[in-house]
Structure 1
Amino acid sequence: MTANTAHAPGLGFRDGARGGRSSECNSLELLIAGINWPPETFLGRLIDGLTEAGVSVTVGSSNRPKERKNQVKWLPTPSWDSSVPLRLSRLARMALRANFCGRRDVKVFGRSIRRNANLRDRLEFWNQLLPYAGRRWDVIYFPWNSAAIAHLPIFDRRSPVIVSCRGAQVSVAPHNPERAEILGGLRDTFDRAAAVHCVSEATLKDACRVGLAPAKARVIRPAVDPDVFRPGPSCPDHNGIFRLVTTGSLIWRKGMEYALSSIRTLRDRGVNVRFEIIGDGPERQRVLYTIHDLGLQDCVWLHGRLRPEEVLHRLREADAFLLSSLSEGISNAVLEAMACGLPVVTTDCGGMREAVTDGVEGFVVPVRDAEAMAATLLRLAGDAGLRQRMGAAARARIEREFSLKRQIAQWLELFNAVLNKDERNDALSHDARLEDCRRAGVASADSLVRAAASNLRQNDKLSTL
């Protein structure tokens, strides 16, 4: 099934979750499970686009959203990190509800409990799964592999499940000896998912190396809204200062030390550069140390997390964008910068060549090569015309290949494909039951199947309580 293909403001919520089988995406009931709120910016964009397309979206998150309108429903999925009395009382309420309207799901989930699990593990297991009991959606979507692995019993329900593969989740995590269980979990999700979404062709190749069947995969690349991320009203005048920006989490995969080494080279070559780092994370102290160790305190600004509108402002004020990552699927930050008309210098990691053509929208340099990074930055710093040409090409490519409208259409196509496949499987199952009845000599096979279908419908009605 292969194909080429921070917080988001304006999202609102209402309680509850209920869906029935739908043949058209404008009445489709979708659960996006295993996420935090507020979601990552790219996920917020996807939720926005799907709701605007008419999809009924429910988000499963542990924290209650502050904004509540009538666009997106909320399924509370409480964490296990609370006092013992609160855990037990909450678990008792969920169990009582499941006893009335989710018995079938409880039976399905119960088959997955480890026989040697202790009491605490069993209680945590039920705390994680009972919120889903007795509720129905047309499609369940896990944007993160790790969340899908933690909710494997949900794959045994009747709703088809889609799982996403994103960069390091399949290129780095499976090879970590301290997380050996990840590889088996990934293969389980690949085997049991109705479809697997990959953010790039490079990510698809990585996923296939750890067990994904290519026929089950669909490549849908990230997207941005070009009406939101757009160039500023005029070219900024920085009085000879070359303003460079990067955004992202401060984690080891971002290779920030190589970016800072390239900035040191620019300074040594006499370039008046200002480098703004937007983002935070566990490597913050290491980044701070490197800034001071290289003597860059006067030209590097470490902003931490900023509001989306502040990020947009700094992108519009910059001359170029730098990505020094060691591993990526396709960087959403790079796409946002390109939409703002910035030329990009990126490392050749993951699927970045699927977004940036070397010498057209920017430059692609080898991973961990600070000298090559510095050389391309020197070219951009000294040639405003080159920056403008590459920035215009970057903006045009976003409009052509990475618009949110295009991405939403691809997701709706995937949902329809999964639903049609599920309906075909239901039809095959129906025919198999008829054949079994005929072979057994049952004269009224059709009436038996109708009775079974009626019983299933009655159970579905109970599950809405």
Structure 2
Amino acid sequence: MAKKKQHKSTIGIVLYSVPRYSETFFRNKIKGLQENGFEVILFVDYFNKDDINFPCKIVAASVFNEGKLKTIINSLFALLKAVFVNPKRSLKLFQLDKKDGVALKKRVKNLILNQFFLNENIDWLHFGFGMLAIDRENVAQVMNAKMAVSFRGFDLYLSPLRHKDCYKSLFTKKVKYHVLSQEMKQTLIDYEISKDTIKVITPAIDVTFFQTQNKNREDSAVIQLVSVARLHWKKGLEYSLEALKCLKLAGVKFQYTIIGEGAQLERLVFAAHQLEIEENVTFTGALSHDDVKSQLEQADIYLQYSIQEGFCNAVIEAQAMGLLTVVSDAEGLSENVLNNETGWVVPKRSPELLAHKIIEVINLSPEEKNKIRVRAIARVKEEFNLKKQKQAFVDFYKKD
């Protein structure tokens, strides 16, 4: 008797756009799933011709923001698909939205905007960010798929402040959640989400790339500090600059390099000027992975004094490179760095405390510093490697 062909599970991943080369989290996740026998379909809101060679099937939403005429044409085309191509699924989506109390006009809009999902047959529909599930809470059920949602720091902690009750409908649905830290898991539990539906999978890095031969490095005469961060208020860079002003007043010689770009550049440059440390601070802009590694290789201390932070890959990379790492206690950072074991955790929004901690770290003996470095490197290799993360996502979909 011929063996029955085994079903190959298909994961639909929903993102804003096709991940760029530098967006390693989603690229590694997709690659890991494919290596473990899953089919992957990527659903995106935005698509361009450069994405055509991405190594999985891409299904892109119709364009509704390029002029009134094109919007009308695409809307009519979507409605025709709803009636003649996907009538059963479209009717079910319309009815489920009605059951949720969605107004008629919004139901029609949801039907048009979400039509691009309905041609596909999948086992899981996984929204890569919480906000991507808004107005799509019933799409997975319509597709006869299980629903998953990933939360990162910004969309779990900040989006509800900007969009009040944005997850009210989502949190009533049958969903399996992925978060980056135990702190984030507890936040979802506080929303009365069952802990059994929440899986913590931390970020991971290529530990074969982010490694250093200089594990017993000696501090420079001028202490080299570095941060890798988007220039956004949530990264707390202004507090870092205020702490470094305290260092300067204490007579500590230092150079601080900030790697990253963003809308707050002018504000931060001006803050460094007002604090009279502009000669001690360098803004490099965005750098390649190789150049980031080179900067980390030359640094003594890594700072990540964020106000809000889900977990932060850059902190893992710094520890892997043997840097003495000082972070705030924002969300997942105190799980990323173990205080007094693999680095140091300082209460956020307290630049004086940060300055005191940096001075304390500088004054540690070489033996004490190296103990911290060795423990940090070993923990990153054990806990935050790509192999472990890929297997965790395989288990996420298989163990339901």
Unpaired stretches in structure 2, ≥5 consecutive residues: none
- Structure 1 residue aligned with 2:190: 209
> Is the partner of 1:249 in helix, strand or coil?
coil
State, as a whole percentage, how many aligned pairs show the same letter: 24
1:323 aligns with 2:308: no
Counterpart of 1:380, as a letter, is V
**Residue 347 of structure 1: CA displacement?**
0.9
CA distance in 1, matches of 2:131, 2:255: 37
2:124 corresponds, among 127, 130, 139, to 139
1:170 aligns with 2:156: yes
CA RMSD of aligned residues (A): 2.7
- Structure 2 residue aligned with 1:251: 232
- Structure 2 residue aligned with 1:160: 146
Unpaired stretches in structure 1, ≥5 consecutive residues: 1-21, 419-465
**Residue 236 of structure 1: CA displacement?**
7.0
- Structure 2 residue aligned with 1:305: 286
CA distance in 1, matches of 2:336, 2:360: 21
TM-score by length of 2: 0.87
- Structure 1 residue aligned with 2:397: 415
CA distance in 1, matches of 2:134, 2:182: 22
> Is the partner of 2:273 in helix, strand or coil?
helix
Where do 1:50-449 residues align within 5 Å? 50-61=33-44, 62-64=46-48, 66-69=50-53, 71-111=55-95, 112=97, 116-118=103-105, 124-157=109-142, 158-174=144-160, 176=161, 178-182=162-166, 185=167, 187-231=168-212, 240-383=221-364, 385-418=367-400
**Residue 123 of structure 1: CA displacement?**
6.4
Is the 2:110–2:136 Cα contact (8 Å) retained in structure 1?
Answer: no
Counterpart of 2:42, as a letter, is V
CA distance in 1, matches of 2:157, 2:285: 27
Deviations 1:344-403 (A, max 9, x none): 101112122222111121111111121221122223334555444322221110111111
CA distance in 2, matches of 1:375, 1:319: 16
CA separation of 1:337/1:78 partners in 2, compared to 1, >3 Å: closer, same or farther?
farther
**Residue 129 of structure 1: CA displacement?**
0.1
Deviations 1:32-60 (A, max 9, x none): 10333335443333233333333322222
1:28 aligns with 2:26: no
- Which protein has the larger Cα radius of gyration, Structure 1 or Structure 2? 1
**Residue 238 of structure 1: CA displacement?**
8.0
**Residue 153 of structure 1: CA displacement?**
2.6
**Residue 165 of structure 1: CA displacement?**
2.3
**Residue 234 of structure 1: CA displacement?**
7.7
Aligned residues: 388
CA distance in 1, matches of 2:210, 2:279: 29
Counterpart of 1:331, as a letter, is C
Is the 1:320–1:387 Cα contact (8 Å) retained in structure 2?
Answer: no
Deviations 1:281-321 (A, max 9, x none): 33333322211111121111122333333323322332221
Is the 1:32–1:60 Cα contact (8 Å) retained in structure 2?
Answer: yes
Is the 2:321–2:377 Cα contact (8 Å) retained in structure 1?
Answer: yes
CA distance in 1, matches of 2:325, 2:220: 21
CA distance in 1, matches of 2:49, 2:178: 26
Counterpart of 1:395, as a letter, is I
> Is the partner of 1:223 in helix, strand or coil?
coil
Is the 2:124–2:140 Cα contact (8 Å) retained in structure 1?
Answer: no
Is the 1:342–1:387 Cα contact (8 Å) retained in structure 2?
Answer: no
**Residue 79 of structure 1: CA displacement?**
4.7
Deviations 1:151-190 (A, max 9, x none): 223133210011112234333443x2x52232xx2x4323
CA distance in 1, matches of 2:63, 2:296: 36
TM-score by length of 1: 0.76
Counterpart of 1:138, as a letter, is D
